[in-house]
Amino acid sequence: MDDITKLRRILRDCRTLAVVGLSANWYRPSFFAAKYMQEHGYRVIPVNPMYDSVLGEKCYASLRDIPEPVDLVDCFRKGAEIPALAEDAIAIGAHVLWMQLGVENPAARRLAEAAGLEVVENRCVKIEHARLFGGLGWAGVDTGVISAKRPV
């Protein structure tokens, strides 16, 4: 399993994050996780074919379209989509394949690790950063919406 030393080192050393599945909708977990990381000095590169830009950054249709080096590929996609993303992460020379909360794929893990990438599964970069580095603000998962109304 991923240990604290490994997570701390990854989040300290990997400063350019390609966020696959980054939504432009402020209430989506991908948006506020990426916004948090951006506000803590990380370079966030959005990857989503639906948008031209997100969080003030040019958005790319795929990992292979990114014209600059990427340290960490942060995947907000279903587990079944991860093997193809692992192949893309390998192709662009990323160092880490990170699967967000609830996302695991043993085949993608094996593929990425065989190519020399480190792999993190079922964890959130924002939550781990706040936990390990005492991130200012947003210590939890905060959408900024306070409501006592029940969902419809």
In this predicted model, what pLDDT tens digit does every residue of 95-147 receive, in sequence order? Answer: 999 999 999 999 999 999 999 999 999 999 999 999 898 755 554 554 444 44
Q: How confident is the model at residue 3 (pLDDT cuts 50, 70, 90)?
A: confident
Asked if the structure places residue 149 within a domain, the reply is: no
Q: How far apart are CA 57 and CA 78, in angstroms?
A: 24
Asked if the structure places residue 141 within a domain, the reply is: no
**83, pLDDT greater than 60:** yes
One-letter identity of residue 94: A
- Mean pLDDT, rounded, for 12-39: 96
Q: What's the pLDDT at 75?
A: 98
Q: Where are the beta strands (DSSP E) in 6-129?
A: 16-20, 43-47, 53-54, 57-58, 72-75, 96-99, 118-120
Asked if the structure places residue 152 within a domain, the reply is: no
Count of residues making up the chain:
152
Q: How confident is the model at residue 150 (pLDDT cuts 50, 70, 90)?
A: low
Which CATH number belongs to the domain containing residue 53 in this structure? 3.40.50.720
Which residues, other chains included, contact 33 with Cβ-Cβ below 8 Å and sequence gap of 6+? 19, 74, 76, 100, 124, 125, 126
Number of domains into which the chain is organized? 1
Asked if the structure places residue 75 within a domain, the reply is: yes
Asked if the structure places residue 125 within a domain, the reply is: yes
Asked if the structure places residue 26 within a domain, the reply is: yes
Question: Alpha carbon 148 to chain centroid distance?
Answer: 30
Joined together, the tokens standing for residue 18 give 């390609």
Answer for the pair 67, 94: CB distance below 8 angstroms, yes or no: no
Provide the domain limits for residue 61.
4-133
pLDDT digits (tens, 9 = 90+) for 26-66: 999 999 999 999 999 999 999 999 999 999 999 999 999 99
Q: What's the pLDDT at 136?
A: 55
Asked if the structure places residue 138 within a domain, the reply is: no
Answer for the pair 103, 121: CB distance below 8 angstroms, yes or no: yes
Asked if the structure places residue 148 within a domain, the reply is: no
